[in-house]
Chains A and B, each alone.
Chain A
Amino acid sequence: MSARTISQERNLFRIHVLEAKYEFLKLLRLPAYIIPTLAFPLVFYMLFGVAMKHQGPGGAFDFPTYLIATYGAFGVMNAALFGLGVGLAVERGQGWLLFKRATPMPPLAPYLGKLAMCLLFGTIMILALFTLGATAGGVRLPLSTWLSLGAVQVAGALPFAACGLAVGYWAGPNSAPAIINLISLPAAFGSGMWFPIQMMPGFVRKIAQFLPPYHYAQLTLGRLGLDRGEPASRHVAVLVVFTAASMAFAWWGYRRDEGKTFG
């Protein structure tokens, strides 16, 4: 008998679709992911956006419109940070990722699957938020503005997915959620995602310049003419540098991880 002929024919597209599908089901059945990602932005919007419709400290500040941009951004950022960061930290810490690496899995499949699902959950949340804004919030925008706002919000998942990747490779399965909350909540607040940055004290606005979520929030607000008028190119540049730095940290963590699996 001769060696069995090995056909390596697999449908790579199908593998990636399945990977994403099961990533979706995995997260959908996980309240610890669904509640912060889908429910928090919507509940906060009801509490602060809809309830404060007619009472800005400056008189007629348009809270419902401002917050539709920033809560959407906040939700997408969390979907990416938790989906990639916690998902990866848990699967890596429990040996699941190592097992998958021993299979002939296409090497990028779990990352692409996780990223695709963060984008999908982000999109679902934004659609729900827009619906809430257009109804209870009374926000009126041209269709093209809704669309471009949504597009910028969803695209914002990329830098934070990269950041999540880095956290996932450096944090343990138990510490990852705490670390992400510790980063994302204060950063979101200081970036004007929860409360208009224009009404924050001067020092907060100075610090905000160093926070990637601030630049992300400004880009989304720019679609509504509610940003602070800084050039969009600067925001994009900061986010590109942040993404590159996150990827570098993630790569470093990946290399370190590869070398230290004990026997």
Chain B
Amino acid sequence: MKPTIEKDGQPVAELRRAVKRYGSVTALAGIDFAVRPGEVVALLGPNGAGKTTAVQLLLGLLRPSAGEARLFGRDPRSPGARMRTGTMLQVAKVPETLKVKEHVHLISSYYPHPLPGAEVIAAAGLAGLEDRLFGKLSGGQRQRVLFALALCGNPDLLFLDEPTVGLDVESRRAFWSVIGEKAAQGRSVLLTTHYLEEADALADRIVLITGGRIVAEGTPAEIKARAAGRKVRCRTSLPLEQIAALAGVHGARRDGELTELLAVDADPVIRDLLSRDSGLSALEVRGADLEEAFLALTGSEEKEEVAA
């Protein structure tokens, strides 16, 4: 709906070899990352992965220790870049004694071409709550106010930092439909989340980040295929190298007497194991959580133990 195409399709937001250190802690270990015009990108990773740090570098709220952050090809601190950006940060509390419409009115005034207040209210699903004080809203409604404040300036680029954290499943889904309908509309969006499901529901492209590094990148389908793994535990006499080399196995390790392996699809792997070791016992299969999926994808420690 809105023309957001830049000259030469240059990125609307970009980190170049960006490093951020807090004292001895490295939050971002040199990442390259870009959001292209019209693209909805999810930065997906566990807590402490460096997602918020990446967003704050792009917003000019933090200075990189090394490398560079660009917003619309400029210094993120420049008002020109900020006027084209809308932001939803993890704010614990918004001043509680102002009404919803008053918050929208004030933040809109900062922008040269704001959306009409009524349109913002409707887009964020806040109709009927305009005259409610922020302090009287429920958790889900509060998140929608923060979303409304991000939309106020009719931005070309939306930052949504953990937009549904702390919401129950139902409010989260309701919120996704609001973001999905209204946020996209030709805008570029950078979303951070630690829910794979959320990234899947909203993003064109997922960037997996953990420990301050990008470990994988792809469409939601590609990432899910690799990340939605199963964890299989069993007692077997098969050598570890042989297990790790089986088709569909992403990593294997010994855990005491047991062997543990990660696989995208457990069933064929289990059939394969049983055909090779009829004495296999203590079989247990469960869904790998996101962090295990990350480990399967990065294959850090596990793979080193495998002599394959």
Neighbouring B residues of A47 by C-beta, 8 Å: none
- Give the one of B53, B91, B105 with max A CB within 10 A: B91
Tell me if A185 is interfacial: C-beta within 8 Å of chain B: no
Q: How far is the CA of A96 from the CA of B146 in the complex (A)?
A: 10
In the complex, which residues 4-28 of chain A have their Cβ closer than 8 Å to any Cβ of chain B?
Answer: 4, 6-10, 14-15, 18-19, 22, 25-27
Tell me if A108 is interfacial: C-beta within 8 Å of chain B: no
Neighbouring A residues of B5 by C-beta, 8 Å: 1, 3
In the complex, which residues 63-112 of chain A have their Cβ closer than 8 Å to any Cβ of chain B?
Answer: 90-91, 93-96, 98-99, 101-106
Closest residue of chain A to B20 (Cβ to Cβ) is A263
Interface residues of chain A: helix, strand, loop or mixed (majority): loop
Q: CB within 8 A of A102: which of B87, B95, B98, B113?
A: B87
Q: How far is the CA of A27 from the CA of B98 in the complex (A)?
A: 9
Neighbouring B residues of A7 by C-beta, 8 Å: 112-113
Contacts A25-B98, A94-B93; is A2 near B7 (CB within 8 Å)? yes
Query: Is A9 a contact of B89 with CB atoms below 8 Å?
Result: no
Query: Is A22 a contact of B4 with CB atoms below 8 Å?
Result: no
Tell me if B97 is interfacial: C-beta within 8 Å of chain A: yes
Query: Is A26 a contact of B110 with CB atoms below 8 Å?
Result: no
CB distance from B5 to the nearest CB of A (A): 5
Stretch at the interface among B76-84, B121-129, B215-223, B243-251: B76-84
Residues of chain A at interface, number, CB under 8 A: 37
- One digit per residue, 1 when the CB lies within 8 angstroms of any chain A CB and 0 when it does not, for chain B 48-76 equals 00111111100111100000000000000
CB distance from B133 to the nearest CB of A (A): 7
Q: How far is the CA of A91 from the CA of B133 in the complex (A)?
A: 16
Query: Is A96 a contact of B95 with CB atoms below 8 Å?
Result: yes
Q: How far is the CA of A2 from the CA of B90 in the complex (A)?
A: 34
Query: Is A4 a contact of B4 with CB atoms below 8 Å?
Result: yes
Contacts A96-B95, A263-B50; is A4 near B156 (CB within 8 Å)? yes
Contacts A10-B112, A25-B97; is A95 near B27 (CB within 8 Å)? no
Q: How far is the CA of A3 from the CA of B105 in the complex (A)?
A: 28
Tell me if B185 is interfacial: C-beta within 8 Å of chain A: no
CB distance from B102 to the nearest CB of A (A): 6
Using a CB–CB cutoff of 8 Å, the interface residues on chain B facing chain A are: 3-7, 20, 22, 27-28, 50-56, 59-62, 79-80, 82-85, 87, 89-95, 97-98, 102, 105-107, 109-113, 133, 146, 149, 153, 156, 159
Give me 8 other A-B pairs in contact (C-beta within 8 A), A2-B7, A103-B111 excluded: A3-B6, A6-B80, A14-B109, A18-B109, A94-B91, A102-B82, A105-B110, A263-B20
> What are 19 contact pairs spanning A and B, CB under 8 A?
A3-B6, A6-B84, A8-B79, A14-B109, A18-B109, A19-B106, A22-B106, A29-B133, A91-B95, A94-B94, A99-B149, A103-B111, A103-B153, A104-B79, A104-B83, A105-B110, A260-B22, A261-B56, A261-B62
